[in-house]
Each structure stands twice: as C-alpha cells, then as structure tokens.
Amino acid sequence: MSAHPLLTEEERLILNAIQDGFPVEPRPYAALAATLRRRNGLDLSEAGIIERIRSLKERGYIRRLGAVFNSRPLGYTSTLCAARVPEDRVEEFGRLVSSFPQVTHNYVRANPLNVWFTFCYARPEELESFLARLRREVGSREVFELASRRIFKIRAVFNLP
C-alpha cells in the first residue's frame, strides 16, 4: 500500500487511545480529550480531537470507527482469508476488499499469499459470492478462506510508539 506522511506525536496518541477503550457516552470526543489531557498532557478540545480524527480518516490511517462484536453469539462467522495478488495490483485489490463493510481487517504480508483480510458473514453464500468476486478481480483462483478451528485472540491493538 502507498506510504503516508509521518504521523505527529499528537496523532499517535489519539490513534492509540481510540483503539482500546473508546468512550461510550454522550460526548465521547470530549471525554477522549479529557483522558488524553490527563494521561499525556495533550491540550486539545473536543473539536480538535474530531478534526484530527477526520484528518486521519481522510489520509487513510482510519478506515472506520466502530465497535467490534463477538460475531458468533450474534449468528455470524468471521473468517480469515488470504490472496496472492500481483504486486502492481495490491493497492487496487486492497481498496476493493476494504470497500466491503463485512471486512474488519485488511493488510499486506511478506508471504506468497500477500494480502490477508477477515470477512464476517451470516450465510455461507455471502462468503462464496465475496470470494468469487475477488477471484474474478485478481484473475486468479488464489483467494482462500482460512477457516479457524479455534479462536486464540479476538482483538488487535497496534500500539504506536
């Protein structure tokens, strides 16, 4: 994927804070500003936090803000998928994958199967349709579902130093 300009210290603190424990209250950004002020001495208003998050989203650092639910009790299945994508099509493929609201993670790996992502679905035909479309787009059958046998970790937090 394309490189983005470096993050500021302020942006790193905001990204770290919103990944783990986003405030669930009437004015979450005001609460976030207060927490960042208390913990890190960051002097931003509610509007300042909103503006920085908007900028991070526009620049591609944030795809979406939302809760992550345990999908199984809700009747959904989440599965890891991997694809072999030609290097000159990785960015295009990544945008396509990320355009589906059922995709919760999408990343490049140093592996022959170089694009990995998770897909959440209620009915098996949703997954099959999604994978078939991706195979057509890549021009290859090398898009795979890697179904889990056992869940070891349900959350990922990327601490930005």
pLDDT tens, position by position, 123-150: 999 999 999 998 888 776 889 999 878 7
Provide the pLDDT for residue 3.
47
CATH number, domain containing residue 96: 3.30.70.3460
Residue 109: pLDDT over 50: yes
Which residues have CB under 8 Å from 119's CB, separation 6+?
A: 78, 79, 81, 100, 102, 103, 104, 127, 130
- Per-residue DSSP letter, 139: T
Q: What are phi and psi of 16, to 5 degrees?
A: -60, -45
Provide the pLDDT for residue 66.
81
What's the predicted TM-score (pTM) here? 0.63
Q: Which residue has the higher pLDDT, 66 or 16?
A: 16
- The residue with tokens 């998770």 is 118
Q: What is the percentage of the chain residues whose pLDDT exceeds 90?
A: 56
Provide the pLDDT for residue 151.
73
Residue 88: pLDDT over 60: yes
Q: Are residues 77 and 129 in the same domain?
A: yes
pLDDT tens, position by position, 29-61: 999 999 999 999 999 999 999 999 999 999 988
Residue 161: pLDDT over 90: no
**Band of the pLDDT at 154, cuts 50, 70, 90?**
low
Q: Are residues 76 and 135 in the same domain?
A: yes
Q: Which amino acid is at 61?
A: Y
Provide the pLDDT for residue 114.
94
Provide the pLDDT for residue 153.
64
Residue 158: pLDDT over 60: yes
Provide the pLDDT for residue 80.
92
Residue 102 in domain: yes
Domain membership of residue 115 as a residue range: 72-146
Residue 17 in domain: yes
Q: Are residues 82 and 123 in the same domain?
A: yes
Residue 25 in domain: yes
Q: What is the mean pLDDT of the chain?
A: 88
Total domain count, the chain: 2
Provide the pLDDT for residue 56.
94
User: Any bridge partners for residue 77, and if so which?
Assistant: 121
